[in-house]
Amino acid sequence: MVSSKMEKSPADLLASPGLSSMLKSLKLKTKQQELLIRVSILFLVYVLAFIARLFSVLRYESMIHEFDPYFNYRVTQYLTQKGFYEFWNWFDSESWYPLGRIVGGTLYPGLMVTAAFIYWTLRFLRFAVHIREVCVLTAPFFAANTTLVAYFFGKELWDSGAGLVAAALIAICPGYISRSVAGSYDNEGVAIFALLLTFYLFVKAVNTGSLAWGLASALGYFYMVSAWGGYVFIINLIPLYVLVLLITGRYSMRLYVAYNCMYVLGTLLAMQIRFVGFQHVQSGEHMAAMGMFFLMQVFYFLDWVKYLLNDPKKFHSFLRITVTSAVGLGAIALGVGTASGYISPWTGRFYSLLDPTYAKDHIPIIASVSEHQPTAWSSFMFDFHILLILFPAGLYFCFKRLSDATIFIVMYGLTSMYFAGVMVRLILVATPAVCLISAIAVSATVKNLTQLVRAKSKPASGGSGKGAASAKVLSKGSLDQSMPFQKNGAVALLLGVFYLLSRYAIHCTWVTSEAYSSPSIVLAARGANGNRVIFDDYREAYFWLRQNTPPDAKVMSWWDYGYQITAMGNRTVIVDNNTWNNTHIATVGRAMSSYEDEAYEIMRSLDVDYVLVVFGGVTGYSSDDINKFLWMVRIGGGVFPVIKEPDYLVNGEYRVDKGAAPKMLNCLMYKLSYYRFGELTTEYGKPPGYDRARGVEIGNKDIKLEHLEEAFTTSNWIVRIYKVKPPNNRW
C-alpha cells in the first residue's frame, strides 16, 4: 500500500532522497510492480463487488428480502439458537399444517451452515453481531469471493489479464447482482460461488492432472451440493465435457485422474447431504456421470490393451468387441434399473428445462412462478448489456486457441446460455460463463490493440490505468504492420472498448440501484410530487398476526406468503413456498376459488383460523392475489376437477368488472379481496370501487361475508386478514 501511494505522488517522492532510492529499487523489480498492481486491482474489485450490493441496505434498511430468504433466515436462526443436531432433526409443525415438514431432510443446508459458521466465528472474535446482519451480508460477501475465483479461473483459461477483466465484469454484472444484493439471503448467493469454484478446480485438475486439485474440486462440488439444487448442472455438464474431450481425441491421464477423483469423491461426499441421499446412484438425472465414469474405465483399459498388444489389427477387433459389449451392458443396466424402479425417472423440473413447454402442460405449479418463465430478449440485454455482444467474440477467441480449458468454458457458456433462455432465473448460472468468455474477448482485443499501439512508440504506452494494466501483462507477439493507419485505428478501437466498458459500468450501477435492490417486502412508489412513498403493509400485517392471534392459529394464504408468515408472523401456515405437496396447494387453491360456504367446509377441515389475501386495488400493486388467481384455479383444478378454469373467464378473458363471470364475482378470493372495497374511492374522478391495479370498476360492490369476518386490513389495503368464524352456535 505504501508504495502505491508513492507512485501516485512522484513530486513528493523526489523531494526525499531516501524514498527516491526506494523507488529506484522498486523500479528494478518489474515483476513485483506488476504483482502489486494486480493485487491492488483485485482488491478494489473485491471491495467494489461488495459495496455495489449494499444499495438495498442504504435505500431501505438491513432486512431480508422476498420470500425464500425468510425461510432460510428462520432456519438459520433455529440453527444458531438450538445447535446443529437439533437443526438436523427439526420437524417444523408450523408449515404445511397438518402434514408438517421435516426441515433437516428437505433442504440444502449449505447456506445456513455457512451463515451460522460466519456468525459463530464473529462471536468467537467478540464481535457482537446479530444473526440478521450476517444473513443480510452473506450474499455480497460471497459475491466478492466469486470475483477472486473468476480471476483465477480467467487466469487458468487465458491469462491473468483475462482473469482481472473477468473479476471486474462479474463484480458488477446485473445478472449476478440480481441474486446477491444485501438481504437476498438465498441459496444462489453462495451457490454461484461454489459452482464457479468447482468448475475452476476441475479445470485446474484437468490441466495439471493432480490428485490434489481433483480432491479440491470434489470438495467444491460437495459444498455446491450442500448449497443448491443447481448442482445437477455440474454433474451433467462435466460428463458432457469429458465426453466431448473423448470424442475429439483429447483423452489423457490428466483427464482420467481429474474426472475419477472428482466423481468418486464428489459422489460419496454428496451422499452425506440428507436431501440428496442416494440420488447420485439412483436418479436418472445423475446417470450420465455414472455412465461416463464407466466409459473412462473402458478407455483406460483399452489404452492398456493397446500398449500390450502392439498390433493395430488385433487391437481394432478387440476395440470393436469391447466397445460394443460395454455400451450394450450399460444400456441393459440402465433399462433394468429404470424398469425395476431402482433408478428413478427424470423429474418434472428436469424435463421442463429440456423442453420449455413441458411445465406449461403438465406442472402448473412450476409454470406459475414468474422466474420460471422463458426469458425475454430484453432481460438478456438488461442483465448482460455489452457482454451479450462480447460473448460471441469471446467464443471466437476460445476456438482460435483451443485447449482443454477453453473447451470447458465454451461448453459451459453454450449450455448455460440455452438454460438461461428456458428460464429467467437461470440467467444467473450463465452469468459467470458469459463474464469469463467476454473477459477473454476484452482482454485479447485490448492486448492485440495495445501491442499495435506500442509497436512504434513503446515509451508512449501506459495511458489510462486499465490499459496499462492490460499492457503490463502482455506477452510479446508479432505485429502485422501492413495496414495503413493501423496505430490510429487501434487507438480509436481502444477508446471504443473503454467507452463500451464504461457504459457497462454505468448500466450495471443503474440496474442495481433501480431494479435489483428492492426488498419486495417493502414496496416503494413515486408519489404525485415525485417523492418516495413507502408501503410497509406486509410487515404491518405479519406483526399484527404475531401480536393479535393465538400462538397456535393456523393461517391460510396462497403459498407465496407462507415463508413470510411463519418467519415474521410466527404462525402456522397451510402451504408455503416449499411447494412439495401439490395436493395440499390445490386444496388451498380450491378453497380460494369456491363459493364461501364450500370454502368454509374446506377451511374447517384444515382447522384454518385466519385467511390472508394480498390485494393491490388501492395502491395499484399488480402482483396481488387477484392477478395470481387464475393459477390458483388451474392448480386447484388440476387435482379437483370441480374447479374449471372457463367458469372464471368470459370468452377466454379474465375480468373483475361488471362483465366478469358470475362464479368469479362470488368466489372466496374475489370476496375477500374486494370486501368493503365498493365503499372506497381510490382515485379522484373515478367511481367508488375503482380497482387501480387493473384499472376497472369492480363488478360486485355489495359483498356479504357469512362465515368469515374481517380481522385486519393494513393501512394501504395490501394485506387483508379475515377470521374464520366458528360454526353457528345454535345451528
Give contact residues for other proteins (rule: CB under 8 A).
Answer: 85, 88-89, 91, 93, 97-100, 102, 104-105, 552, 605-606, 726-731
Least distance from other proteins to the Cβ atom of residue 659, Å: 34
Least Å from the CB of residue 625 to other proteins: 25
Question: Nearest approach, Cβ of 552 to other proteins (angstroms)?
Answer: 7
Q: Going by C-beta distance under 8 Å and a sequence separation of 6 or more, which residues neighbour residue 2?
A: none
| CB-CB contact of 618 with 624 (8 Å) | no
Q: Which CB atom, from 88 or from 251, has the smaller least distance to other proteins? A: 88
CB 56 within 8 A of CB 182: yes
Kindly tell me which of 431 and 572 has the beta carbon lying closer to other proteins. Answer: 572
Identity of the residue, 5 or 725, whose beta carbon is nearer to other proteins in the bound complex: 725
The residues that bridge with 535 in the sheet, in sequence order, are 523
CB count within 10 Å of CB 381 equals 13
Q: What cell was used for 199?
A: 468448475
Q: 424 or 606: whose CB is closer to other proteins?
A: 606
Least gap, CB of 88 to other proteins (angstroms): 7
Reduced 3-state DSSP string for 16-62? CHHHHHHHHHHHHCHHHHHHHHHHHHHHHHHHHHHHHHHHHHHHCCC
Minimal distance, residue 105 CB to other proteins, in Å = 8
Nearest of 537, 710, 509, 499 to residue 616 by alpha carbon:
537
Pair 635, 582: CB distance under 8 Å: yes
CB 56, CB 517: distance < 8 Å: yes
Q: Among residues 227, 186, 191, 185, which one has the least CA distance to residue 62? A: 185
Three-state DSSP class for residue 90: coil
For the residues of 634-702, what is the DSSP string, one character each? Answer: HHHHHH-TTS-GGGG-BTTB---STTS-HHHHHBHHHHHHHTTGGG---STTS-TTEETTTTEE-S---
Nearer to other proteins, 89 or 317 (CB): 89
**Residue 176 host element (H or E):** helix 174-177
| CB-based contact 255:208 (threshold 8 Å) | no
Rounded CA gap, 366 and 358, in Å?
Answer: 10
Output the smallest distance, CB 591 to other proteins, in A.
Answer: 14
Pair 276, 221: CB distance under 8 Å: no
How, if at all, do strands 91-92 and 101-102 pair?
antiparallel
Question: Which one, 98 or 229, has the nearer CB to other proteins?
Answer: 98
| C-alpha cell recorded at residue 196 | 464457479
**Least spacing, CB of residue 91 vs other proteins, in Å:** 4
For residue 587, the SS3 value is helix
Q: Angle at Cα 302 formed by Cα 296 and Cα 303, nearest 5°?
A: 90
Q: Yes or no: say if 722 and 610 are a contact pair by the CB < 8 Å rule.
A: yes
Residue 640: exposure state from Cβ atoms within 10 A (0-12, 13-18, ≥19): middle
Residue 89 CB, shortest distance to other proteins, in Å, is 5
Nearer to other proteins, 10 or 727 (CB): 727
Question: At closest approach, how far in Å is the CB of 730 from other proteins?
Answer: 5
In the bound complex, what is the minimum distance in angstroms from residue 226's beta carbon to other proteins? 17
Nearer to other proteins (CB atom), residue 274 or residue 507: 274
Measuring CA to CA, which residue among 579, 563, 581 is closest to residue 571?
Answer: 563
**Shortest approach of other proteins to residue 98 CB, angstroms?**
4
Shortest spacing between CB 587 and other proteins, in angstroms: 10
- Closest CB to other proteins among 93 and 252? 93
Distance of closest approach, residue 566 Cβ to other proteins, in angstroms: 14
In this complex, which beta carbon is closest to other proteins, that of residue 99 or of residue 389? 99
Q: For strand 532-535 and strand 554-556, is the pairing parallel, antiparallel, or unpaired?
A: unpaired
Considering the complex, state which of residue 364 and residue 636 has its C-beta at the smaller distance from other proteins. 636
Is the separation of the CB atoms in 514 and 528 below 8 Å? no
Return the number of the residue (573 or 626) whose C-beta is nearest other proteins.
573
| Closest CB to other proteins among residues 157, 273 | 273
